[in-house]
Amino acid sequence: MESQSVMSLRIARPAGRFSGVWVPILPLAVLLSFAAPAPTSGETASPGVLPDPCSEPLTWHVGEVDERFGLPTGEAEAALREAAALWNDTAGRTLIAVDEDRGSPVRLLFDERHQRIQELLPRKERLQEMAREVSRERVRIEEEQHDLWVSRQEHERRLSTLERRQEEHERQVEYWENRGDATEDVRRELRRVADELDRERRAVNEEGARITERAREVNRGVERLNELVEAYNQERRSVEAETRATRIQSGHYQESRRTMGRWTVSVEREIFVWQFDDREHLVRILAHELGNALGLEHAAEPGAIMHPVTRGGGGGAAAAGGADEPEAAAHREVRLHSADVALLLARCPDLEPEGGPDLEPEGR
């Protein structure tokens, strides 16, 4: 599995090593009586036959935890047990056994690029906060724009009403001027209406000035929002570039066989973990590599444990086998996908997985 970076690191598998003594090739009669020494880690197999994980549990233990991870060995072992339980609980029996000091080793080895990835996490959190700030500011501006639109509509209606009343008043004044016999009461009423229209006109003009100032303030808010968006985009591009530049392989399953001719003398298995975002991410990496140890293929479904890319809780993506995938965040409970179950059944067809055919795929 890998985390995001510009280039994918592929760990070259060694030609094979074993614990014990090299034995020269002997005549067949002597070779048949040879008893191979048991390796200190890994498993001894029958001549020419590998142990079948479907019928014989693979035993693992936490062999090494670099102190720079800040992860106690007990917590690493708990994560390993949780990862093993995903397969065991689904299979209905033990496929992966975890022991304190016996079995194949799981090694958590700190990579210096892991430190750079960890240093990026606060910037990613800040980037998320910037996105939330942009979202809040956009909502506020949209609400103000809506309120301004409503105020403008009301102002237009008020202004239109005032203009109609003004036109009607002017017609009344012209009418009485043409007649020339307006009584004092009529003149008093015309003056009262004129004063009322004058007050309304001043009020409408003041309202228009306030709306204009509100429009200026909304426009200033839009400018601030655009500045926030630009700052967010710049930081996002910077973080993405640095994330790609520090892409490393998060985990790797390694298997080497000691053979003599057609005989398989021993099998040594190891799991390496170089980078993880948090405990959930570690469990997913371990579950993926244990799946590799079981002989499972990769899954095409993005939510599957056996997909080449697994998502970390810190927002990163880790890929297996050198796959190059875009970053995405998916912080969910760790459980098997239906695609994982299908791969397990294809590898071990005699199993009857817990949950049967109604097992729900992750993410649905």
| pLDDT-wise least confident of 14-18, 112-116, 229-233, 258-262 | 14-18
> What pLDDT does 308 receive?
85
In this model, does residue 169 exceed pLDDT 50?
A: yes
Once rounded to an integer, what is the mean pLDDT over residues 133-155?
Answer: 95
Kindly indicate the confidence band of residue 183, based on its pLDDT and cuts at 50, 70 and 90: very high
Higher pLDDT, 58 or 317: 58
Token digits of residue 114: 């892991």
> What pLDDT does 320 receive?
46
Contacts of 235-239 spanning 24+ positions with Cβ under 8 A: 235/123, 235/126, 235/127, 235/130, 236/127, 239/120, 239/123, 239/124, 239/127
What are the extents of the domains in the chain?
37-111+248-358, 124-245
Are 247 and 317 in contact by the 8 Å Cβ rule? The answer is no
> What pLDDT does 353 receive?
64
In this model, does residue 34 exceed pLDDT 60?
A: no
Higher pLDDT, 221 or 53: 221
Kindly indicate the confidence band of residue 98, based on its pLDDT and cuts at 50, 70 and 90: very high
What is the CATH topology of the domain spanning 37-111+248-358? Collagenase (Catalytic Domain) (3.40.390)
> What pLDDT does 332 receive?
54
| pLDDT-wise least confident of 6-10, 165-169, 303-307, 312-316 | 6-10
At the second CATH level, the architecture of 124-245 is Orthogonal Bundle (1.10)
In this model, does residue 129 exceed pLDDT 90?
A: yes
In this model, does residue 112 exceed pLDDT 50?
A: yes
Query: pTM score, two decimals?
Result: 0.53
Q: What is the mean pLDDT of the chain?
A: 79
In this model, does residue 264 exceed pLDDT 50?
A: yes
